Chain A
Amino acid sequence: MPDDDESPETRDRDWEGVRLHVVTGKGGTGKTTVACALALALAKGGHRVLVMEVEGRQGIAQLFDTTALPYAERQVAVASGGGEVWALAVDPEEALLEYLELFYKMRRAGSALRRIGAIEFATTIAPGMRDVLLTGKAMEATKRTRDGKPVYDAVVLDAPPTGRITKFLNVNTEVAGLAKVGPIKSHADSVMAIIKSPQTAVHLVSILEQMPVQETVEGVRDLRAAGIPVGALIINMDRGTALSPTQLKAALKDSLPRDAIARSLEEAGLAHDTKTLTAMVEELADVGHDHNVRARLENVERQALAQLDRPTYTLPMLPDGTDLSGLYELADSLCAQGAA
């Protein structure tokens, strides 16, 4: 299928060289949606991309309109030019058994460990273990090769929320609380080496409201302090501005020209009697006022994000919520803005 856009080779892409895309955001900002849209965008032009979730919510399956994901990689979507999106829901217990198999050839010991509660201990209670298993799985998928070539061109990780992201990714610090030396510590170190390398970028999703933006600002600060590469900022569910700056100003002062609105409504054939007309004018003035209060607050938040000095993409609010076609729409928008 021919690609409508420029070919991926000539397109100006902001994340050339990045193979592990970590997507985070405050709860309610739509980070899973953005992660899936980014995976689709990266897959365009014939790439194979894996999108992973780690919190057991099956959010990816919902978005791609498919049944719950098992702990096995499965293709969930196609992108133009022969691109493929694969998905995986990582289960920490399975990841631990896999890790035992891979590094110690001890899979059979796994069931004995499960019986006495050691697997549950390691994945839910031992500090830091769970996170190192999850990030370790992301690293394994990123580095995996077949016939000398990477299996995936990129891996997108739908990560825990902004408030926890630095701790989640900073696995060697976390594990250091548990193990100063030893095999788990070396494993954490090798995961950390990838996370801090230019192969990784952590993208932060926000909406233009005070609390999510505040968390984004703090998240960027923490990531930078930990030496983890900050990628893009993604403003999600942007409602745009339907009014011109002058109209905005007028709306806020509550001096929208009611006479003019009334004349326009008559012109449009909407006013059947005076009472309806008055009610309509008042409603529209109110709509304009609310819109403007919001636009002004959003502007403050937009500026706060701009000060972080990172590439910023804006994704529109989809009027009917996110479904599969909406996801492709968001992916196109990310491509057009240079994200992929």
Chain B
Amino acid sequence: MTSATPLDIDQLLKDPAIHIVVCCGSGGVGKTTTAAALGVRAAELGRRAVVLTIDPARRLAQSLGLTELDNEPRLVTDVVSESSGGSLSAMMLDMKRTFDEIVEGHSDPKRTETILANPFYQALSTSFAGTQEYMAMEKLGQLHARLGQDHDWDLIVVDTPPSRSALDFLDAPRRLGSFLDGRLMRLLAAPARAGGRLSMRVVNAGFGIFSGVLTRILGATVLRDIQGFVGSFDALFGDFRLRAEATYNLLQSDETAFLVVATPESDALREASYFVERLERDQMPLAGLVLNRVQPAASIDLTAEAAIASAQRLETRGRTHALTAALLRLHAERVRLRDRQRHLSERFTAAHRDVPVVAVAALAQDVHDLESLREIGASLHASDDLVS
């Protein structure tokens, strides 16, 4: 049997050199809950933590005192006593506002106004698949820049957007950066910068076909909007690219730790494998795997087969035994579930031997208050036996 190295979450959270913890994984595995629980635990251990959530379920958000997108961390009260030195803040990402702020911060008021009013910009900042990932990274960069300043934070816990594809999250910054800075944009921008000799050469080479095609597909109005946007956004392009690269480098640095979150199911673990491999390929510092919703082992030694055989026997012997028979069947179900989960986690561990794992027991109900976040945070430290 392959057994995984236990992942010591407390040690990770206590490490003063760690300033960023990124939780990633596929949708529905409890990623946001894990991020919130890590924040609570970190505060208990004396860190001044801020949790950056992307799209939390309403009740989870409420448990952190978040009622709307506010784009600025708010202190969560009643997590730890002030004397402990720890604190917890939380925020929900407002994608459009983050984008608007970048524009405001990098251009004069008049140009800002032009950009914000452009229909193409409005579409891009609200619905572009990838803007969310990009803005999450942008916000992370902003929070990181404030680390260490008075009353701010010393640990940022990031919940990643629920991208279905493992690649999106790491690719988005570079993709947007290279797109904004790329050849297509120069082509689009060319007419707006009439006169540039280099631009005109490019225009002659490709713009004829290109604008013809775009006009036929999109219509002339759209093309004008895009060109208007590109024209006024021009000055920000280089900056976008630099910021995307800076964030990427920050993620690769020693002060960052990635946690891959999964549940012991084949789909989620397959996604987790992709994440692990991708993080390794990009040389991102992977701390380990958090395995949520693990069925704990039974406290007695009774196999599923034996339990079912006994249940069948009892069922033939009258109604007085019906309850015990039903309970034995439930026990068998639990044992089978546990066995299947173990088998799947072992398969993951066999393929990724160096990835430490911590398991979190399945809870009977959804998490929506600080108390349960506290329990999960504590169990992240104390439940090594679940995976062994």
Q: Give me the interface of A with B, judged by CB distance under 8 Å.
A: 26-29, 55-57, 59, 62, 100, 104, 106, 109, 112-113, 116-118, 120-121, 124-128, 130, 160-161, 163, 167, 174, 177-185, 209-212, 214, 239, 242-244, 247, 250, 256-257, 260-261, 264-265, 267-270, 276, 279-280, 282-288, 290-291, 293-294, 297, 319-321
Interface pair A319/B310, CB less than 8 Å apart: no
Q: A57-B165, A116-B210, A179-B221 are in contact. Are A121 and B333 (CB under 8 A)?
A: no
Q: A28-B263, A117-B179, A117-B182 are in contact. Are A293 and B364 (CB under 8 A)?
A: yes
Interface pair A243/B326, CB less than 8 Å apart: yes
The 6 closest A-B pairs by CB, nearest first: A182-B219, A27-B27, A28-B28, A27-B28, A264-B324, A177-B123
Mark each residue of chain B from 105 to 143: 1 if its CB lies under 8 Å from any CB of chain A, else 0: 000000000000001101110111110000000000000
Interface pair B219/A321, CB less than 8 Å apart: no
Given contacts A26-B28, A178-B222, 12 further A-B contacts (CB under 8 A): A28-B26, A106-B216, A116-B206, A117-B182, A117-B183, A118-B210, A242-B326, A260-B323, A264-B321, A268-B324, A284-B324, A319-B333
Per the bound structure, the CA–CA distance linking A121 and B185 in Å amounts to 10
Interface pair B328/A284, CB less than 8 Å apart: yes
Interface pair B29/A28, CB less than 8 Å apart: yes
Interface pair B184/A297, CB less than 8 Å apart: no
Per the bound structure, the CA–CA distance linking A59 and B274 in Å amounts to 14
Instruction: Note all chain B residues with C-beta closer than 8 A to A125.
Output: 124, 128, 130, 175-176, 179
Indicate whether B302 reaches chain A with its CB closer than 8 angstroms: yes
Instruction: Note all chain B residues with C-beta closer than 8 A to A184.
Output: 217-219, 222
Q: A127-B128, A279-B300, A320-B340 are in contact. Are A183 and B217 (CB under 8 A)?
A: yes
Instruction: Note all chain B residues with C-beta closer than 8 A to A268.
Output: 310, 313-314, 321, 324, 328
Interface pair B210/A178, CB less than 8 Å apart: no
Indicate whether B350 reaches chain A with its CB closer than 8 angstroms: no
Per the bound structure, the CA–CA distance linking A250 and B206 in Å amounts to 77
Instruction: Note all chain A residues with C-beta closer than 8 A to B179.
Output: 117, 120-121, 125
Instruction: Note all chain A residues with C-beta closer than 8 A to B12.
Output: none
Q: Nearest CB to that of B206 among chain A residues?
A: A116
Interface pair B58/A214, CB less than 8 Å apart: yes
Per the bound structure, the CA–CA distance linking A256 and B327 in Å amounts to 11
Per the bound structure, the CA–CA distance linking A261 and B55 in Å amounts to 47
Q: A27-B26, A125-B128, A247-B326 are in contact. Are A280 and B300 (CB under 8 A)?
A: yes
Per the bound structure, the CA–CA distance linking A27 and B120 in Å amounts to 30
Interface pair B320/A260, CB less than 8 Å apart: yes
Indicate whether B365 reaches chain A with its CB closer than 8 angstroms: yes
Interface pair A261/B324, CB less than 8 Å apart: yes
Indicate whether B366 reaches chain A with its CB closer than 8 angstroms: yes
Instruction: Note all chain B residues with C-beta closer than 8 A to A269.
Output: 310, 313
Minimum CB–CB distance for B77 against chain A, Å = 25
Instruction: Note all chain B residues with C-beta closer than 8 A to A294.
Output: 364
Instruction: Note all chain A residues with C-beta closer than 8 A to B124.
Output: 125, 127
Per the bound structure, the CA–CA distance linking A174 and B218 in Å amounts to 14
Indicate whether B266 reaches chain A with its CB closer than 8 angstroms: yes
Interface pair A297/B365, CB less than 8 Å apart: yes
Instruction: Note all chain A residues with C-beta closer than 8 A to B365.
Output: 210, 293, 297
Per the bound structure, the CA–CA distance linking A293 and B365 in Å amounts to 8
Q: Please name 7 pairs of A and B residues whose Cβ atoms are closer than 8 Å in the assembled complex, sorted by A.
A: A55-B165, A104-B216, A183-B216, A243-B323, A260-B324, A287-B327, A290-B364
Indicate whether B242 reaches chain A with its CB closer than 8 angstroms: no
Instruction: Note all chain A residues with C-beta closer than 8 A to B27.
Output: 26-28, 161
Q: A28-B27, A184-B219 are in contact. Are A264 and B123 (CB under 8 A)?
A: no
Q: Which of B26, B28, B270, B331 has the most CB of A within 10 A?
A: B28
Interface pair A209/B366, CB less than 8 Å apart: yes
Indicate whether B278 reaches chain A with its CB closer than 8 angstroms: no
Interface pair B219/A297, CB less than 8 Å apart: no
Instruction: Note all chain A residues with C-beta closer than 8 A to B59.
Output: 210-211
Q: Which of A261, A264, A294 has the most CB of B within 10 A?
A: A264
Per the bound structure, the CA–CA distance linking A270 and B332 in Å amounts to 14
Minimum CB–CB distance for A293 against chain B, Å = 4
Instruction: Note all chain A residues with C-beta closer than 8 A to B300.
Output: 276, 279-280, 283
Per the bound structure, the CA–CA distance linking A126 and B330 in Å amounts to 52
Minimum CB–CB distance for B143 against chain A, Å = 25
Q: A117-B183, A125-B179, A288-B330 are in contact. Are A106 and B317 (CB under 8 A)?
A: no
Interface pair A264/B325, CB less than 8 Å apart: yes
Interface pair B176/A112, CB less than 8 Å apart: no
Per the bound structure, the CA–CA distance linking A161 and B306 in Å amounts to 41
Instruction: Note all chain A residues with C-beta closer than 8 A to B201.
Output: none
Residue of B184, B317, B327 near A284 (CB, 8 A) is B327
Indicate whether B351 reaches chain A with its CB closer than 8 angstroms: no
Interface pair B267/A112, CB less than 8 Å apart: no
Per the bound structure, the CA–CA distance linking A130 and B124 in Å amounts to 13
Q: Nearest CB to that of A279 among chain B residues?
A: B300
Indicate whether B164 reaches chain A with its CB closer than 8 angstroms: yes
Per the bound structure, the CA–CA distance linking A113 and B162 in Å amounts to 30
Instruction: Note all chain A residues with C-beta closer than 8 A to B241.
Output: none
Instruction: Note all chain B residues with C-beta closer than 8 A to A247.
Output: 322-323, 326
Indicate whether B187 reaches chain A with its CB closer than 8 angstroms: yes
Per the bound structure, the CA–CA distance linking A250 and B322 in Å amounts to 14
Interface pair B218/A180, CB less than 8 Å apart: no
Instruction: Note all chain B residues with C-beta closer than 8 A to A287.
Output: 327, 330-331, 334
Indicate whether B246 reaches chain A with its CB closer than 8 angstroms: no
Instruction: Note all chain A residues with C-beta closer than 8 A to B266.
Output: 321
Minimum CB–CB distance for A142 against chain B, Å = 23
Per the bound structure, the CA–CA distance linking A257 and B183 in Å amounts to 76
Interface pair A178/B218, CB less than 8 Å apart: yes
